[in-house]
Structure 1
């Protein structure tokens, strides 16, 4: 069996298990019929599609990333916006979410579907704050190597709809929040900077639930690996550090591992130079790991964002082995241009939008 194809298949099994459509569909039998559906985040369209197929047509607003609002009925209002740096459409989406919530009747039920990416995709700024302020903050946060919890804490300071702000405008009877987690600890106050979090004072019935997470993805990857007769040595969420530190720590473990599989999850960080090249955190980590395993035959690594994108690129990540590291790799790594190098090496992992977002997934196979 081709080791590269097997590694990708195990990675994909993890992603498929936490798909927005699949994860949302599983819990809808326990949700009463809503009057309004709001979905925000990268997997918003998939989550909304599941709800509409279960409950039938009803007013629905989806705010999602460019080219992610597909396969929805014509009656659905879709606003696509920029990620990871917000744009004018992000303000349009955030304002539309707030105004929709504000307009709901006193006896109404809101179904709010929340997922990662909402921090950038939907915003309604506090008075006195501008889009330029928001863009400047996001570019600064993305370049400094902060983890998602620290980044979202700063984003909330500019927002009327984050940190419980959106639901503070809800005067209806009941709100149900279903969330796909892209943050450590699966904290609803951090996912999308808290766009689905409950306000400090709640005057309505509220139910919140995490329907998919990185742990679910890793478990599904492990299950497939075992079903194919592979020994699974590790299943950990431990990628929460600078990508070079992660590569250094994992590199030794991978070089020393026996035949079998290791599965890791999390979200590494990257400190960008002033003029970065092309790539994202997964491509950077992949290239750093390629250096760690250079010349170690029998090892294949897949590392990718479960949403199918990695930074401002069309790749999810990369598939690397003992032969990936070569001439030009060191320069690419130093200049944050890992994507360009990995493309030349034929190592990019390109999946297109996956309909989910539960941080990153890394699969190692050793024969």
Structure 2
């Protein structure tokens, strides 16, 4: 192998991100222009880049507004780009959601709405249902993020406390045709879970949301509790006639990203092994399992001979008990390093493809056989850092953080364990 392990891991991550760039993915899914207007709306960390790609490839006039995370805007000619907060929503996101709803008022059956949705859209469209305030949604969001709930569970609660998610945005576009282009950041690629499904039908119920709240001990403000208890928060269900002219297409997914990384590995003479694109669970528990597989490979050549790289995607969770800086990928790596216990010839990267792991402007980090020894030499206590949920502090101190800046896409987490 004529490349360092770190450079190979970095190249695989870059390939995963590049495979999900909107300019590559959008053109093949564009519908023909309509008789009437073309209106563009959207939300997510990739939505601005998606809007720019749409403008480049659309042959007719269009206008609209999309909302993205602070720092993720890119210049567009006719589509307005608004920035707001993620992962905890803010007033800018609330105003953007209101603007988007206003933009689709009064459309006709001759009009076309192209909706650009990617991960992060739930926080960027925080328009609350009746009796629920933005402050309520912020508090609930923070509690869900710390609870260890899966993204599917979190988005179920969010949909039922919203005035725009759970198919409501598509219903507001009726009778116009709605074509939603989705970049998936959720395990299983279920459209209703991507940004909480603003333009797709939702089969889940208020009762489901209440059960999730009970399961994780989430304190609900009175207005939010009333919204769920009364059933007033029910989403737009499958078969609703307002969604008869709405379609959705997943244009990029975690699997596509893993396959792109796998090709980089093959070109370097390393056998890629795809373990799954939708792996969930507590970050530290997933890490222990992955470490066990890597050690079996190294010691016994089972179930795969060396050299190989174990690739996986999905979204793990962290139940926050400490006061460190997070996030889920660096928590995974810190637990992985401890479980590997300085095993020779095992290197790893884990990072979020959007460039932000948790709330930090850091994508993820690297682990090497020397990670633990270097940490101890600096006076760091790896297990204490893990107990304090301080993966970013740990890897930042070692100089092993992976910082990419905004990647302008989001197909969830990327993990690669290289066994030489």
**Aligned residue number for residue 211 of structure 1:** 251
Query: What corresponds to 1:360 in structure 2?
Result: 413
Q: CA deviation at 1:105?
A: 3.7
Output aligned runs, 1:144-183, within 5 Å: 144-183=147-186
- How far apart are residue 106 of structure 1 and its match? 4.2
Aligned counterparts of 1:284 and 1:31: Cα–Cα separation in 2:
45
Query: Does residue 301 in structure 1 map to residue 348 in structure 2?
Result: yes
TM-score (norm 2): 0.83
| 1:61 and 2:101 matched | no
Distance 1:77 1:238, change over 3 A: closer
Task: Note the residue ranges of structure 1 that are not aligned, 5 or more in a row.
Answer: none
Q: Distance in 2 between matches of 1:211 and 1:238?
A: 17
TM-align CA RMSD: 1.6
Of residues 248, 254, 260, the one that matches 1:220 is: 260
TM-aligned CA deviation for residue 184 of structure 1: 1.5
How many angstroms apart in 2 are the aligned matches of 1:238 and 1:108? 36
CA separation in 2, counterparts of 1:182 and 1:293?
A: 28
Distance in structure 2 (CA, Å) of the matches to 1:80 and 1:202: 33
Task: Indicate yes or no: 2:187 matched with 1:184.
Answer: yes
Secondary structure of residue in 2 paired with 1:48: helix
Does the 8 A contact of 2:353 with 2:412 survive in 1?
A: yes
Q: Does 1:202 align with 2:204?
A: no
Residue 239 of structure 1 contacts residue 267 of structure 1 at CA under 8 Å; is this kept in 2? yes
Where in structure 2 are the equivalents of 1:191-270 lying within 5 Å? 191-198=194-201, 199-200=236-237, 201-203=240-242, 205-237=245-277, 239-257=279-297, 258-270=306-318
How many angstroms apart in 2 are the aligned matches of 1:31 and 1:21? Answer: 18
Quote the Cα distance in structure 2 between the aligned partners of 1:287 and 1:19: 29
Partner of 2:365: 318
Q: Contact 2:343/2:369 (CA < 8 Å) preserved in 1?
A: yes
Deviations 1:140-170 (A, max 9, x none): 1000001000000111121011110111111
Q: Distance in 1 between matches of 2:96 and 2:331?
A: 31
Q: Per-residue CA shift, 1:220-242, capped at 9, x if unaligned?
A: 11122112221123442353000
Shift of 1:209: 0.6
Aligned length: 364
- Asked whether the 8 Å contact 2:362–2:403 carries over to 1, the reply is yes
1:336 alignment partner, SS class: coil
Shift of 1:256: 2.1
Match of 2:12 among 10, 13, 17: 10
Which position in structure 2 is the counterpart of 1:337? Answer: 390
TM-score by length of 1: 0.95
| 2:111 matched residue in structure 1 | 108
State the alpha-carbon separation in 2 of the partners of residues 130 and 103 from structure 1: 27
- The aligned residue for residue 131 of structure 2 is 128
Distance 2:314 2:337 in 1: 19
Q: Which runs of 5+ in 2 are unaligned?
A: 202-235, 298-305
Counterpart in the other structure of 2:33: 32
Q: In structure 2, what is the Cα distance between the partners aligned to 1:26 and 1:348?
A: 36
